[in-house]
Amino acid sequence: MAVSLLEQWPPVLSKVQLESLTLQATTYALSHGLVYLPVATVQPPAPTSTIHAPLALFPSPFPRRLFQHAQRLQRIYNVLYARVAMDEEFLDRVMGEVEGVGKVDEFTGQLWRRWRKLRDENVPRPLQLGLFRSDYLAHAPGNGEPTSLKQVEFNTISSSFGALSERSANLHRYLFKSTQYYEVSSHLREENFPSNNTVAGLAEGLAEAHKAYGVPNARILFVVQENERNVFDQRWIEYELLEKHGIHVVRQTFRQLGQSVTVDSATRVLRITTPSGLLSDGSKSVEISTVYFRAGYTPTDYPTPEFYDTRYLLESSRAIQCPSIQLQLAGGKKVQQVLTNPGVLERFLGDSSRWGTEVFTPAELDELRSSWMDMWGLDEDVPNANPTSGPANECSGVRRARELSAKLVLKPQREGGGNNVYKEAIPAFLDSLPVQEREAWIAMELIAAPEGLGNYLVRAGGGTEGAVKAEVISELGIFGWALFGGADGRVKEKEIGWLLRTKGKDSNEGGVAAGFSVLDSVLLIDD
């Protein structure tokens, strides 16, 4: 990424231009569904108001070659994580309650035990669907090294913001078309605004699963969180399913499902009871073809064991799960780390005795590996750890984390933002972490995001003077879907779209819903 461009970004605007752009951006967002529900302890059953989602006023520069690299990698990642989810022995060893993370992490253990129960009861497993998002940062280590693409994480459950990110890209296209951005930068040209059709891609994946289920008048179940503010990101997918594919959606929380779900013991058909009078044919329940989880990725979604049992009941049906428990487990940070160990990637992508001709070349595996930072488990023995960096009885994985803490992030098996431990907070955290819980954490070298990039960040309530200029870091997410399983284990997959989230440079976390980031879009540059 060219330093000269970073030093000029965002371009200089007059006060009048800045206020005008902010007004146009916020009114466009409100007019086109780039919105959230306002903060409330309890969301009303029928919303009466919305606020625009946090947004960036300019698109953010991102190297064209790295953007295209991320798009190429998505096909390989789609296949990789589908195959991980189909490898019971591997997941039991890495994430299970006997050998793996599940024995020290209660949330992981609860999920694994339900999956184990399904297998013990010989419940037939249907196809599985993954709606994925692989997140990256541009890595600029300096010392003359070129900027490269490095993966932050791979998401296998509730991979959100596809719909709102598409609208954020449309917002920046609108600002360009309506104002030409006052011609303040020669980089702001139409060919540098990549198209974004993520909603159609996500709906396509769900529609493929629905079609494979084989009952046209069945419905897709969206499992959603209580008091969800990011409801419109989900609704746009629902509308696309109905308008383009003729598929209806049912939305329910885990709490509601505890009362409404039934699974026929003979046919394993999943049915959801709906309030009387809602269905035009007079029936009181609908058959479900696909269960799409926009909840279930955090322990707070399961306040009592009964909520885990509801998850088990859904999984025991013949409905296609998105994701299944095993695919959710495959997205654990421990799996991300173990995949970097020698020979593991070849197990899933390079072994022709297991996968026939559906394997990848050594060059493709090297390209995938090039997207990884250094990672290790805190419970593991690792080379090059300083023996004096901690107590003598500490394993070398912890000692190395102490020694390199200023350049590290520690990650647990959690999604949703706000769970990681960074840099100077690491030594004290390691002091407080019980020895038996180390296996649930990985250490990862921090990605060195390019310095000097700025933008105007706009959050609701600031008015036309609410655009705040800040030095920022932008995180690219690439979406994909994979439909897999069955007798042959084949994977049908596709790369389908992207998002860009931007945060202030001093913010470690990156979640938009958690309040750390704003929605942005890509401005392609040739670095």
Contact 116, 91 (CB under 8 A): no
At residue 113, what are phi and psi to the nearest 5 degrees? -65, -35
Residue 387 carries which side chain, given as an amino acid letter? P
Lowest mean pLDDT among 6-15, 113-122, 311-320, 379-388: 379-388
Q: State the chain's maximal CA–CA distance in angstroms.
A: 73
Q: Which of 400, 411, 438, 503 is labelled catalytic?
A: 411
pLDDT average, residue stretch 278-295: 88
* pLDDT at 48 (0 to 100): 81
pLDDT average, residue stretch 337-353: 94
Active site residue 211: no
**Bridge partners for 506 per DSSP:** none
* pLDDT at 508 (0 to 100): 57
Q: Which of 60, 102, 153, 332 is labelled catalytic?
A: 153
Contact 312, 114 (CB under 8 A): yes
* pLDDT at 42 (0 to 100): 79
3-state secondary structure 99-125: CCHHHCCHHHHHHHHHHHHHHHCCCCC
Q: Which of 97, 166, 394, 415 is labelled catalytic?
A: 415
Q: How many separate helices (H) and strands (E) can be counted in the chain?
A: 17, 21
Active site residue 501: yes
Q: Which of 160, 168, 289, 521 is labelled catalytic?
A: 160
* pLDDT at 489 (0 to 100): 81
Q: What value does the mean pLDDT of the chain take? A: 92
CA dihedral 52, 55, 59, 64 (to 10 degrees): -110
Does residue 5 have a pLDDT over 80? no
Active site residue 469: no
Which regions of the chain carry the CATH code 3.30.1490.50?
A: 374-446
Q: Which of 103, 197, 364, 416 is labelled catalytic?
A: 416
Active site residue 160: yes
Active site residue 244: no
* pLDDT at 7 (0 to 100): 61
**Confidence band of 24 (pLDDT split at 50, 70, 90):** very high
Contact 527, 124 (CB under 8 A): no
d(CA 432, CA 204): 46
Q: Which of 83, 133, 311, 414 is labelled catalytic?
A: 133
pLDDT in tens, 216-228: 999 999 999 999 9
Tokens 């419109």 locate to 232
Q: Which of 114, 116, 219, 333 is labelled catalytic?
A: 333
Read off the tokens for 102. Answer: 């599940």
Read off the tokens for 423. Answer: 């840099």
Active site residue 155: yes
Read off the tokens for 123. Answer: 């419940």
DSSP class of 512:
T
How distant, in Å, are the alpha carbons of 139, 345, 397 from that of 351?
Answer: 31, 9, 30
* pLDDT at 394 (0 to 100): 76
d(CA 105, CA 442): 13
Q: Which of 134, 155, 158, 159 is labelled catalytic?
A: 155
Instruction: Please report, rounded to a whole number, the percentage of residues in the chain having pLDDT higher than 90.
Output: 78
CA distance from start to end of the chain: 5
pLDDT average, residue stretch 172-194: 96
* 40 vs 509: which has the higher pLDDT: 40
Does residue 148 have a pLDDT over 90? yes
Q: Each residue of 331-356: b (16+ CB within 10 Å) or e?
A: bbbbbbbbbbeeebbeebbbeeeebe
Does residue 300 have a pLDDT over 90? yes
DSSP class of 99:
S
Read off the tokens for 524. Answer: 């392609």
Q: Which of 271, 414, 501, 503 is labelled catalytic?
A: 501
d(CA 459, CA 26): 9
**Bridge partners for 458 per DSSP:** 55, 467
3-state secondary structure 262-307: EECCCCCCEEEECCCCCCCCCCCEEEEEEEEECCCCCHHHCCCHHH
Instruction: Please tell us whether the domain made up of 374-446 is placed in CATH 3.30.1490.50.
Output: yes
* pLDDT at 514 (0 to 100): 45
Contact 480, 496 (CB under 8 A): yes
**Confidence band of 445 (pLDDT split at 50, 70, 90):** very high
Does residue 505 have a pLDDT over 90? no
pLDDT in tens, 464-502: 778 999 999 999 999 999 999 987 889 999 999 999 999
Active site residue 352: no
Residues for the chain: how many in total? 527
